[in-house]
């Protein structure tokens, strides 16, 4: 792919699309299938950098993973809780799910494991997870002693018992611990300290665990009890990615069109389908079907919304907000500063380039739509910066996205799919 792409303005988009598989579900199902007894076959799985690094790491741990890319099927032969390799170096690029889930998973093994990623990953926190693993009987440390990767885990297995886990930076720590916990020598109780962010992802974790045979008593997500047990391999269908779907729903809103996303419903395991509720509040029409969600664009008003639970869609909403009457304020997403980039500060900077007036808050931002202008958008190697701000170019001529290939983290064919749906060519 080229180093830049110019988005062409589009008439109202009318169409339907099936986005690629969910990153979050694919990476959970991979970890659980790897630990399970017997074989699993994951259908509709995502094929992207974040899932490649997960698959590559599982193979380095000695797990047999067969990937049929054409068919989007991944076959995994589970290790029945006994990680084959006792010494492995894992490279996770910038995949938060991969490093947080695998740090917890290898802690249930026996041996020495090192996990590292790209420079940005070396700035993303993991200290809280390491502290909880230590409390569960594992020796682990941040190599640079700064609470970030690289991480070294030396372990003879998880002892289990009661431990606390911080919830205010990332829910992925808790999700990782939950998935590994059935393999501790005894049951595990996790007490969440601080306000838990991104809660729907924890419900997703317990749902996938249940689907593979382990029932967590999750209560109101302040104290979670995980029995000693084992997963049983199975065939498992992955939903299309709801965060990716947000771009297509937003494209309908921005162009005043109508877009149906196939394969998702209000009952999806992914909390990000609630992005549609934001669009509804802004004035769009949303139609929920048993296996599709359609958004019909309309004149929009600005809204005030706490997006803590659906933080991956903040950038999408920001793009939509530029076309609303009146300001939009997003709050509750201080954790967005720890993602692929600082998704508050850097987002504000790019929105200003497009002509918006933006006030940065500690935990969000206020966007005042103003006269838009052409701009070259820096993407900070953040797939969501590229995918969301490209949508502005569907209305405003001259929007150029730099380093468009960064969408490969979760959606390698994004620009092809958007261009096909819009019926316009991007240069």
Ligand X SMILES: C=C(OP(=O)(O)O)C(=O)O
| Residues noted as catalytic | 312
3-state class of 382 per DSSP?
coil
Closest distance of CB 427 from ligand X, Å:
27
Residue 54 or 372: which CB sits closer to ligand X? 54
Closest distance of CB 298 from ligand X, Å:
28
Burial of 200 from C-beta contacts in 10 A (0-12 / 13-18 / 19+): buried
Is residue 132 at the binding interface for ligand S3P, with CB under 6 A as the rule? Answer: no
- Residue (of 287, 373, 356, 359) closest to 320 by Cα position: 356
Residue 260 or 388: which CB sits closer to ligand X? 388
The site map against ligand X for 361-400 (x = CB under 6 A) is: -----------------------x----------------
Closest distance of CB 347 from ligand X, Å:
12
Q: Which residues does 189 contact at the CB level (< 8 Å), separation at least 6?
A: 161, 162, 163, 223, 224, 225, 226
Is residue 95 at the binding interface for ligand S3P, with CB under 6 A as the rule? Answer: no
Q: Which residues does 78 contact at the CB level (< 8 Å), separation at least 6?
A: 33, 34, 35, 36, 37, 38, 39, 40, 63, 231, 233
Write the DSSP string, 195-209.
Answer: PPSSHHHHHHHHHHH
Residue 384 interaction partner, one of ligand S3P, ligand X, none, beta carbon < 5-8 Å per kind: ligand X
- Residue (of 161, 97, 99, 93) closest to 130 by Cα position: 99
Residue 172 or 260: which CB sits closer to ligand X? 172
The span from the CA of 252 to the CA of 298, in Å, is 9
Residues 334-393 that bind ligand S3P (CB under 6 A): 335
The span from the CA of 408 to the CA of 184, in Å, is 35
Provide φ and ψ at 178, rounded to 5°: -60, -45
Residues 95-134 that bind ligand X (CB under 6 A): 95-97
Strands 139-142 and 151-155: antiparallel
Ranked by CB distance to ligand X, the top (closest) residue is 96
Residue range at the interface with ligand X (CB under 6 A); choices 55-63, 94-102, 207-215, 262-270 = 94-102
Q: What DSSP state is assigned to residue 123?
A: G
Closest distance of CB 291 from ligand S3P, Å:
22
* Structure-token pair, residue 213: 């045979």
Q: Is 28 within any annotated ligand binding site?
A: yes
Is residue 28 at the binding interface for ligand X, with CB under 6 A as the rule? Answer: no
Residues 294-323 that bind ligand X (CB under 6 A): 312
The site map against ligand X for 157-186 (x = CB under 6 A) is: ------------------------------
* Structure-token pair, residue 207: 């749902």
- Footprint of ligand S3P (CB under 6 A): 24, 96-97, 170-172, 175, 197-198, 201, 311-312, 335
Question: Known binding site for phosphoenolpyruvate: residues?
Answer: 23, 96, 124, 172, 343, 384, 409
Question: Known binding site: residues?
Answer: 23-24, 28, 96, 124, 170-172, 198, 312, 339, 343, 384, 409
- Footprint of ligand X (CB under 6 A): 94-97, 312, 339-340, 384, 410
């Amino acid at each position: 792919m080229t180093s830049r792409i110019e988005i062409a303005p589009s008439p109202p988009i009318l169409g339907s699309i099936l986005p690629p598989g969910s990153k979050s579900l694919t990476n959970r199902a991979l970890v659980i299938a790897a630990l399970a007894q017997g074989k699993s076959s994951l259908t509709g799985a995502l094929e992207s950098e974040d899932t490649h690094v997960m698959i590559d790491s599982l193979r380095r741990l000695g797990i047999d993973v067969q990937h049929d890319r054409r068919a989007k099927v991944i076959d995994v032969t589970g290790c029945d809780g006994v990680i084959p390799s006792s010494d492995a170096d894992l490279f996770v690029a910038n995949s938060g799910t991969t490093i947080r889930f695998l740090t917890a998973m290898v802690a249930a093994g026996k041996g020495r494991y090192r996990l590292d990623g790209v420079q940005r990953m070396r700035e993303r926190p993991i200290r809280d997870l390491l502290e909880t693993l230590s409390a569960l009987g594992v020796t682990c440390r941040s190599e640079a002693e700064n609470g970030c990767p690289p991480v070294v885990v030396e372990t003879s297995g998880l002892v289990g018992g009661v431990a606390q886990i911080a919830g205010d930076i990332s829910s992925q720590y808790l999700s990782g611990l939950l998935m590994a916990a059935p393999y501790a020598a005894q049951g595990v109780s996790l007490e969440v300290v601080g306000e838990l962010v991104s809660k729907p992802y924890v419900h997703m974790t317990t749902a996938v665990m249940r689907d593979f045979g382990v029932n967590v008593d999750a209560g109101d997500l302040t104290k979670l009890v995980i029995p000693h047990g084992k997963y049983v391999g199975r065939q498992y269908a992955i939903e299309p990615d709801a965060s990716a779907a947000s771009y297509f729903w937003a494209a309908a809103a921005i162009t005043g069109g109508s877009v149906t996303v196939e394969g998702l419903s209000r009952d999806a395991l992914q909390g990000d389908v609630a992005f549609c509720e934001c669009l509804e509040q802004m004035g769009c029409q949303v139609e929920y079907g048993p296996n599709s969600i359609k958004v019909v664009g309309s004149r929009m008003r600005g809204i005030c919304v706490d997006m803590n639970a659906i933080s991956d869609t903040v950038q999408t909403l920001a793009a939509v907000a530029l076309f609303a009457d009146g300001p939009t304020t997003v709050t509750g997403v201080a954790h967005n500063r720890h993602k692929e980039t600082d998704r508050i500060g850097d987002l504000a900077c790019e929105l200003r380039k497009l002509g918006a007036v933006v006030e940065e808050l500690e935990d969000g931002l206020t966007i005042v739509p103003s006269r838009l202008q052409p701009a070259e958008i820096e993407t900070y190697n953040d797939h969501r910066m590229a995918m969301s701000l490209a949508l502005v170019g569907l209305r405003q001529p001259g929007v150029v996205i730099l380093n468009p290939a960064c969408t490969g983290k979760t959606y390698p064919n994004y620009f092809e799919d958007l261009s096909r749906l819009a019926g316009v060519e991007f240069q």
